[in-house]
C-alpha cells in the first residue's frame, strides 16, 4: 500500500552575493543574503513497497547516465533510514532551469523534507541540512526554510532580521547560464574576510536596494549583455533597484507592491517576450 504527499519547492533570490575566496577543493567561499519567494515547483512523492527511485519531470532532459538531484536526495534519506522503498517523484517545473533561482536545489530539499515526514524519521533540520550539503551548496538553505545570511560555501546559515515588505519581479530573458562556467571565469581579486562585511539588514525598501550586490554580475554581464538590458528596463519601469540573482540569467526588480511588479511584468513580456514572474517573499 503506497502513501503520497505533495510539496512546494520555492525559488530563491540572492539579495547580495560576495565571493571571498576559493578553497583547495575548488568550492568558492561566499557571503550571501538569501530570500525564498513564492514561485514554486510542485513535487509529488509516492512511497510504496519494493525498491527503485523514479523521477519524472516534463520538459527536463537529463544527460545519459546523469541522475536527477531529487533522486539523489531520495537515495540519501533511504540510506540514512536504512530502509528500502520504491519512491516515485513527479516534478512540475515552474521555476526556470539554470536561472540563478536554485530550482534544482529546492526540489532536492523538498524531497529530503518530504521523505523525512513520510517515513516518520524526525531527522531534524540540522541533519537534513548536512545531507543536503552532499547534494549541493544551496540545498541546506532550502531545508533551513527562512531568509538567511549564508557563509562558508553557502552552508553556514543564520536567520536574517525581519525584511521590509517589498515584492519582486523576476525576469528571465530566455537563455540558461552555467553556474560552473561563471565561477570558473571569475577572476578573484578579493581578500576580504567575512568578518569585515557588514551583515545584511534592511528596515526599509531603500535600505534593501542600497545593499543589493552580486560579485558574479561582472562575469555574466560581460558574456550576456542582455542581462544588463533587463536591469535597465526594470529600473525604467519603476523598480526601486534591480540585480541579477545567483549566476544568472534571472534578474529581479524590487517593487513597493505586488500590483506594480505585476504591471511591469506584463509590459516587459509584451515588449521583449521575456518570461516574468511577480513574486512575494516567503517569511
Q: What is the CATH number of the domain that holds 211?
A: 3.30.70.890
Question: How far are the Cα atoms of 123, 171, 223 from residue 137, in angstroms, in the given order?
Answer: 19, 24, 24
Cell triple for 157: 546559515
Do 115 and 193 fall within a single domain? no
Do 221 and 151 fall within a single domain? no
Residue 197 has pLDDT above 80, yes or no: no
Q: How many CB atoms lie within 10 A of CB 225?
A: 10
Do 142 and 177 fall within a single domain? no
Do 16 and 105 fall within a single domain? yes
Do 18 and 122 fall within a single domain? yes
Do 146 and 65 fall within a single domain? yes
Give alpha helix (H) positions in 82-204: 103-118, 125-135, 139-144, 179-185
**Long-range contacts formed by 152-155: CB under 8 A, 24+ apart:** 152/29, 152/30, 153/23, 153/27, 153/28, 153/29, 153/30, 154/30, 154/32, 155/129
Q: Mean pLDDT over residues 79-100, rounded?
A: 94
CA 45 – CA 4 distance, rounded (Å): 6
Mean pLDDT is highest, among 18-22, 62-66, 89-93, for 89-93
pTM (predicted TM-score): 0.93
Among residues 137, 159, 181, the one where a domain terminates is 159
Residue 195 has pLDDT above 80, yes or no: no
pLDDT of residue 111: 98
Q: Give kind and range of the element (H or E) at residue 233.
A: helix 225-236
Do 24 and 111 fall within a single domain? yes
Q: Mean pLDDT over residues 186-210, rounded?
A: 75
Do 175 and 150 fall within a single domain? no
CA 246 – CA 205 distance, rounded (Å): 20
Do 139 and 171 fall within a single domain? no
Q: If you search the block for the grid coordinates 581579486, which residue do you land on?
A: 189
Helix orientation angle between 258-272 and 225-236, rounded to the nearest 10 degrees: 130
1 confidence band (pLDDT: 50, 70, 90): low
Catalytic sites, residue numbers: 12, 138
pLDDT digits (tens, 9 = 90+) for 145-193: 999 999 999 899 999 999 999 999 999 999 999 888 998 888 765 555 5
**Domain span at 84:** 3-159
Residue 199 has pLDDT above 90, yes or no: no
Among residues 159, 176, 203, the one where a domain terminates is 159
CATH number for the domain including 132?
Answer: 3.30.230.10
Using the CB atoms, write b or e for 93-127: b if 16+ within 10 Å: bebbebbbbbbbbbbbbbbbbbbbebbeeebeeee
pLDDT of residue 2: 80
What's the distance, CA 212 to chain centroid?
16
Among residues 124, 141, 159, the one where a domain terminates is 159
Compute the mean pLDDT over every residue in the chain, rounded to the nearest whole number: 92
Do 151 and 247 fall within a single domain? no
pLDDT of residue 61: 67
CA 129 – CA 150 distance, rounded (Å): 13
Which three-class secondary structure state does DSSP give residue 253?
strand
65 confidence band (pLDDT: 50, 70, 90): low
Do 14 and 138 fall within a single domain? yes
Number of domains present in the structure of the chain: 2
Please choose, from the candidates 165, 125, 131, 161, the residue with its C-alpha nearest in 3D space to the C-alpha of residue 145. 125
pLDDT of residue 23: 85
**What percent of the chain shows pLDDT beyond 90?**
80
Do 137 and 13 fall within a single domain? yes
Amino acid at each position: 500500500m503506497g502513501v503520497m504527499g505533495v510539496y512546494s519547492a520555492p525559488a530563491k533570490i540572492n539579495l547580495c552575493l560576495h565571493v571571498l575566496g576559493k578553497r583547495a577543493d575548488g568550492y568558492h567561499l561566499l557571503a550571501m543574503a538569501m530570500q525564498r519567494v513564492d514561485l514554486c515547483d510542485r513535487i509529488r512523492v509516492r512511497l510504496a513497497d519494493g525498491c527503485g527511485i523514479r523521477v519524472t519531470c516534463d520538459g527536463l532532459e537529463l544527460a545519459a547516465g546523469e541522475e536527477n538531484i531529487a533522486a539523489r536526495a531520495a537515495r540519501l534519506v533511504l540510506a540514512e533510514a536504512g530502509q528500502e522503498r520504491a519512491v516515485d517523484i513527479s516534478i512540475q517545473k515552474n521555476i526556470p532551469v539554470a536561472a540563478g533561482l536554485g530550482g534544482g536545489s529546492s526540489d532536492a530539499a523538498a524531497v529530503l523534507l518530504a521523505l523525512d515526514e513520510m517515513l516518520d524519521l524526525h531527522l531534524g533540520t540540522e541533519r537534513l541540512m548536512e545531507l543536503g550539503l552532499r547534494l549541493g551548496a544551496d540545498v541546506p538553505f532550502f531545508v533551513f526554510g527562512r531568509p538567511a545570511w549564508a557563509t562558508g560555501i553557502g552552508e553556514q546559515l543564520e536567520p536574517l532580521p525581519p525584511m521590509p515588505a517589498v515584492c519582486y519581479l523576476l525576469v528571465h530573458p530566455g537563455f540558461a547560464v552555467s553556474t560552473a562556467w561563471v565561477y570558473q571565469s571569475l577572476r578573484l581579486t578579493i581578500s576580504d574576510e567575512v568578518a569585515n562585511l557588514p551583515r545584511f539588514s534592511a528596515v526599509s525598501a531603500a535600505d534593501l536596494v542600497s545593499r543589493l550586490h552580486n560579485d558574479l554580475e561582472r562575469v555574466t554581464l560581460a558574456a550576456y549583455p542582455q542581462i544588463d538590458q533587463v536591469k535597465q528596463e526594470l529600473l525604467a519601469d519603476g523598480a526601486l533597484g534591480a540585480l541579477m540573482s545567483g549566476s544568472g540569467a534571472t534578474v529581479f526588480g524590487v517593487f513597493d507592491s505586488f500590483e506594480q511588479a505585476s504591471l511591469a511584468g506584463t509590459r516587459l513580456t509584451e515588449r521583449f517576450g521575456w518570461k516574468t514572474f511577480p513574486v512575494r517573499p516567503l517569511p
